[in-house]
Amino acid sequence: MSAPTAPTEDRAPDALGQGTKKSRGHQSRPPAPPLSAIARRRSLTGWAFIVPAAAIIVLVNFWPMIQALFLSLKTGRGTRLHWAEPLWLNYQRLFQDENFRLTLGTTFLYLIIQVPIMLGIAMVLANLLNAPWLRFKGFWRTAIFLPCAVGLVSYSLVFRQIFATDGLANDLLMQFGILDDPVNWLGQTGTARMVIILGLLWRWTGYNMIFFLAALQNIDRSTLEAARVDGAGGFKTFWYVTMPQLKPIILLCAILSTNGTLQMFDESFNLTAGGPGNTTMSVSHYLYNVSFRNSPNFGYAAAISYAILIIVAILAAIQMKVGDKRD
């Protein structure tokens, strides 16, 4: 670099952080006093860059979350709300609400069945795509990831069409002689839930696969070589060498999937419309109905939303604990 154009420029450590350690070639410059005007200004510049995003995050996440807590202690219809008597009235009601229990149970069913299957398949696919001998990698990856480019409402309508009584699924299954009579897939609790799980698997497996694949590609090749030299087979290498290194990303995907499933709305609303008899309805769909259908009850809805918040937090905490232990 040529002669500095700003001779008063200093490089106070607190303003530049770790960068100062790496800088080289300016040893001739005299050490500047700490926290000079320029350093302070630079720190302020940093804050100025952060504040717009941080303020919006507080406004649209933290502030409403606190508001929801107050709201959940109030009762009344529409906009005329007053403090509940007793304060925890809405939460009391929650425990007696059969629809809440039903929708929460259904959501957990989706979660318990779908997330492990999805993460398992995604892991197998990611490992196959990472194999050095595999050909047409780009093709496989693109095709399997493609469902993620489709909107939730869009795919819900396609699945609804495919699994209609006079739809494609029945026609194909009858053609192959697997079924004798058409099945009313979306009209029965068990099969309708299965269709939703199938839809979730279709939409999200490729998404998780991409994260696993990225993590696999970051694994230090020398650790795999070392395992091979020590005589470990393919599976042993995967289980004892690869898996431990993938733990953080598996944990992240598990938490994101849990979070996403507990908030699932679009599929419940559009694929099955909650039916038959609310048995495929997700808890978020129920929350929407309590909030904005018929006579809205914002106080009670806020209590439901807080229940979801607490469940999400508890499950994330459990997953982090489990993720930490398996060493």
Partner 1 sequence: MTKTTLRRIPAYAFLTVAVIFSVFPLYFMAVSATNTSNDVIASKLLPGGHLVDNFKALVDAQPLGSAAYHSSLNAVVTTVLALVLCSLAGYAFEIYHSRAKDVVMGILLLAIMIPFAATMIPLFRLFAQVGLVNSTTAVVLPLIATPFLILLFRQASRTFPHEIIEAARLDGLGEVSIFTRIYLPTMKPTLAAAGVITFLFSWNNFLWPKVILVDNKYQTLPMLLSNMRAGYVTDYGSLMLAVLIVSVPTMVVFLLLQRSFAEGVTGAIK
The dihedral over CA atoms of 204, 158, 112, 288, expressed in degrees to the nearest 10, equals 100
Residues in 32-51 that interact with partner 1 by CB under 8 A: 42-43, 45-47, 49-50
Cα 218 to the center of its chain, rounded Å: 22
Size of the site for partner 1 (CB under 8 A): 109
Residues in 58-97 that interact with partner 1 by CB under 8 A: 59-65, 67-68, 71
State yes or no: residue 219 binds partner 1 (CB under 8 A). Answer: no
State yes or no: residue 306 binds partner 1 (CB under 8 A). Answer: yes
Residue 206 and residue 145 in contact, taking contact as beta carbons nearer than 8 Å: yes
State yes or no: residue 243 binds partner 1 (CB under 8 A). Answer: no
Q: Minimum Å distance from CB 68 to partner 1?
A: 5
Tell which one of 36, 184, 279, 291 touches partner 1 (CB under 8 A): 291
Q: Which two three-digit tokens encode residue 230?
A: 């020590």
Of 45, 35, 44, give the one whose Cα is nearest residue 12. Answer: 35
Residues in 128-187 that interact with partner 1 by CB under 8 A: 128, 131, 133-134, 140-155, 157-162, 166-168, 171-172
The dihedral over CA atoms of 159, 160, 166, 167, expressed in degrees to the nearest 10, equals -10
| Nearer Cβ to partner 1 (65/87) | 65
Q: How buried is residue 148: exposed, middle or buried, by Cβ count under 10 Å (0-12/13-18/19+)?
A: middle
Of 272, 156, 146, give the one whose Cα is nearest residue 209. Answer: 146
| Nearer Cβ to partner 1 (67/92) | 67
- Of 82-90, 96-104, 178-186, 285-293, the window that binds partner 1 (rule: CB under 8 A) is 285-293
Q: Minimum Å distance from CB 92 to partner 1?
A: 19
